[in-house]
Each structure stands twice: as C-alpha cells, then as structure tokens.
Amino acid sequence: MFFKMEQDNILPQQGSIFTWLGKLFKERMVTPILVGGYAVLAYKVERSTFDIDFMLTIEQWSKIENDMLAAGYSYINKSDSFIQLKNKQQQLRDLDFILCDNNTFVKILKDSKTTTIAGSNFLLASPLHLIAMKLHAISQNPQREFKDFNDIIQLIVINKIDIRNKDIEKLFSRYSSDLYQKLLTQTVKL
C-alpha cells in the first residue's frame, strides 16, 4: 500500500521513514539537524525512542509543512517553537520539529556532523549540543531527569568528554549546579 504526496513523492508503507525524510529534505533544500533519541542512538548510546526529532528554522519548516500533511501527518502540538506530528499509519514514527531562529541554528550547525541512516545522510547535533538540550529539557520538566540524565552520562562517557572541562561546567551551571555535582559523583563510579 502506498500513499501519495505532493509532487508525486511516494513512501512505501514498509520503507524506512528516514529514506523518505532524506529524500524530502534534499528535494526541498532544507537541512534539519537530528536531535533527540535518534541523535543519541547515533552516538552509540543504548536507549529506546519512539519519535524522530529534528531542529530547523521556521523558514525550513514552511518548505516541508505541506509535504508532512499530505503524507498523512497531523498536528498533535503546534507552537512558535515546537511542532509535534503523528501519522495515521501506526508503523510510521511520530515526528517532532524544534523551531529556532537562524542564529541558534547556525551555532548548532557549525558543530554538527553527518550520519547515515537507512542510506540517507542527516546532520547530527554535537554531543555538547545534545547535552545542552537535555539539560534544558530537565530544567523545564524535572520529571525528565531520570531518562535524560542517563543519556547525558552516556554521551559524556562514550564521547570521552572531560567533565572538568570549563565548557561542561559552564553548561551545567547554566541549568543546574546540582546536576553537575551529581554528574561528578556518577562518573566517578564508572
């Protein structure tokens, strides 16, 4: 079974959503940055995730919005800084888009690298930017600490990030000095 998209882009029901996204992003000349659970997985952190998260500018979102809706995605949540989509087809992952201004996007883009998923290339946020996003999420919703703090520790250990580095200390102090102390305690045990 197939569903038809604008300008005859077709995604097989059994095909990879990443293959379709890669093709769509290339055709629409947008360069979203993979963040969230799949970005953490790309850095070899073991975890499960249910949705695919990207960061992009509002202008980039406007280039793909109609394609998303034509592909059967509908809004779960929509604000000036966040779009959450769900597809009618249960086997297709939910998609989240963090919308940011051009300056923020350029800063994150500068430190990103490329990763390949299902034969398509995607920009991948740096471990430090992922850590910053997770710290921000915890500061906004303390209930996220259990899951996100473990991701932070794993990103630090796997990427051999020096936790006594001034940039790390500064990053944590921006969000939570308590979490920095917890990080020091937890990583000593590793």
- Asked if residue 5 has pLDDT above 70, the reply is no
SS3 10: strand
Indicate if 72 and 134 belong to the same structural domain. Answer: no
Whole domain around residue 34: which residue ranges?
1-125
Indicate if 85 and 168 belong to the same structural domain. Answer: no
Instruction: From 125, 143, 171, give the residue that closes a domain.
Output: 125
Indicate if 38 and 104 belong to the same structural domain. Answer: yes
The pLDDT assigned to 1 comes to 24
SS3 98: strand
Query: How many domains would you assign to the chain?
Result: 2
Burial of 120 (0-12, 13-18, 19+ CB in 10 A): middle
Instruction: From 103, 125, 147, give the residue that closes a domain.
Output: 125
The pLDDT assigned to 117 comes to 92
Which H/E stretch holds residue 100?
strand 94-100
Q: How confident is the model at residue 10 (pLDDT cuts 50, 70, 90)?
A: very low
Indicate if 8 and 91 belong to the same structural domain. Answer: yes
Q: How confident is the model at residue 104 (pLDDT cuts 50, 70, 90)?
A: very high
